[in-house]
Structure 1
Amino acid sequence: MFSPEGPSLRELAVQALSSVERGYDLLAPKFDHTPFRTPDSVLDAVATALRRRGPFGTGLDLCCGTGAGVDVLARVCREGVVGVDFSAGMLAVARERERPADTPVSWVRADARALPFRPGFDLVVSFGAFGHFLPGELPGLFRQAHSVLRPGGSFAFPVLAPPRVTSPAHWMLLGFDTVMRVRNALWRPPFVMYYRAFRPGEVLRELERAGFDVELEALPEFGRRRDGSPRVRLVVARRPVS
């Protein structure tokens, strides 16, 4: 599951018994060597899809972690890119990574539920962060994304089709979520990380309630399932011009 450069079992146990912020501060130096990082194949496919819709002016990576999404934005934004995260450890690693100097990049430590920005971005992206928010927090998060976009700007993120009930992946994710719920019932502070709490149908409705016009784009790089549905989609939520 992890490369030799990834965290040890002991390190993961310490992180899992911490708060989300402290856990990711500890995980940050080895985060890019874990399955928690969004795969390059997904990042590249999203960049390709966004390039067809761009170019964009300014971009924001919401819950940027070590900055993989910032690298996507740097490919499609001309004027500048910002990465925002509440983990100081993640931001420290992100700052250390070498990046092309073509697009200015800046980093901000802040809670995504209370963004310190005015509506000045043309594109907001997020990768793999929604499991760290309880379902009741997502409407507020989407309102925050809406509030920092210029009219006509877009909030984009990939969504993977849920594994079938008969697949090992389904039971692995169910088991993980169950362990996390037991952990949070018995231990404080809580560590919010649930893979099955993000329900695409409900998410699309909440995006619309937040004021977005929403569309889905299949990412052809990942093909389709047996029923013909895409394995991976890009959600593009656009703030209306008026």
Structure 2
Amino acid sequence: MFSPHGPSLRELAVQALSSVERGYDLLAPKFDHTPFRTPDTVLDTVQGALRNMGPFDHGLDLCCGTGAGMDVLRTVCRRSVTGLDFSAGMLAVGREGVRSDGPSRVAWVRGDARALPFGRVFDLVVSFGAFGHFLPGELPGLFAQVHSVLRPGGRFVFPIGAPPRPSSPWYWALLGFDTAMRVRNALWRPPFVMYYRAFRFGDVRRELTRAGFTVEHQALPDFGRRPDGSPRCRLIVATRGSGTPRI
């Protein structure tokens, strides 16, 4: 799962015993060589869907990491693209790796997604693979923050995968990982919040609606369907209305 250029087991252990911010600062130089980076298949599929919705003027990649989603935004946003992350190390790698030429201005901002340092300026907000770093109780505030930086009619778009069935090895792998993280956080400080099973479709849809979004979703056909016919991956499209979020 890790390339030869990825982190060693010792490096991963040091990162896992750090805070989330410090852990990602340490991981940043090798992050793109780990399975934690959003796969190109996901990025390409979301990019195609956004092209059908756009174009947009100003886009924000929430919790942008090293910038995989920034390249997606550059293809659908005509005026500006902004990446926000709280890890200075991840932002530094992103600045070096993402092209800044083209019609869209590119900016990198260090900040907390739970307290966004922007006004109502964006037409599009995307996020890839970052929601496991937020506890369920933080979702109302997080979604209210996104709502506050979108113009009326702006969209908050992100993919969400279906949880694996108990018959799948991935179910037990993710359960084991989340259990290990909970034990780690019970015994060690500072905590490292990274839970793969806490971000559930029903909860997400409910909290987005409470935050003032109109929520739609569509199957991403490239990832197929489960035996019961439900999609393996959906694209959430939450559109900002003109009202005030309810938190």
TM range (shorter): over 0.9
Distance 2:241 2:50 in 1: 18
User: Percent identity over the alignment?
Assistant: 77
Report the TM-score when normalising by structure 2: 0.96
TM-score by length of 1: 0.98
What value does the CA root-mean-square deviation take over the aligned residues?
0.9
Equivalence map 1:1-242=2 (5 Å):
1-99=1-99, 101-102=101-102, 103-241=104-242
Q: Per-residue deviation at 1:220?
A: 1.4
Count of paired positions? 242
Deviation of residue 126 (structure 1)? 0.4
SS at match of 1:193: coil
Q: Note the C-alpha offset of 1:100.
A: 5.7
Instruction: Specify the SS of the correspondent of 1:172.
Output: helix
**Cα distance in 2 for residues equivalent to 1:5 and 1:100:** 25
Separation (CA, whole Å) in 2 of partners of 1:51 and 1:220:
16
1:162, CA displacement in angstroms? 0.8
**Residue 224 of structure 1: CA displacement?**
1.3
Q: Quick one: distance in 1 between partners of 2:225 and 2:198?
A: 23
- Distance across 1 between alignment mates of 2:135 and 2:101: 37
Q: Any idea what SS the aligned residue of 2:26 has? A: helix
**1:225: how far off?**
1.4
Moved over 4 A (4+): none
Deviation at 1:241, TM superposition (A): 4.5
Query: Could you tell me how far apart the structure 1 residues matched to 2:92 and 2:108 are?
Result: 9
Q: Please list the CA deviations of residues 166-187 of structure 1 after superposition, one character each: whole Å capped at 9, or x if unmatched.
A: 1000000000000000000000
* Deviation for aligned residue 1:98: 4.0
Secondary structure at 2:60's aligned position in 1? strand
- Superposed CA deviations along residues 215-234 of structure 1, whole A, max 9, x for unmatched, are 00111111211111111110
Measured in 2, the distance between the counterparts of 1:113 and 1:202 equals 18
Of stretches 7-16 and 95-104 in structure 1, the one that deviates more from structure 2 is 95-104
Gaps of 5+ in 2: none
Counterpart residue identity of residue 16, structure 1: A
Distance 2:198 2:98 in 1: 34
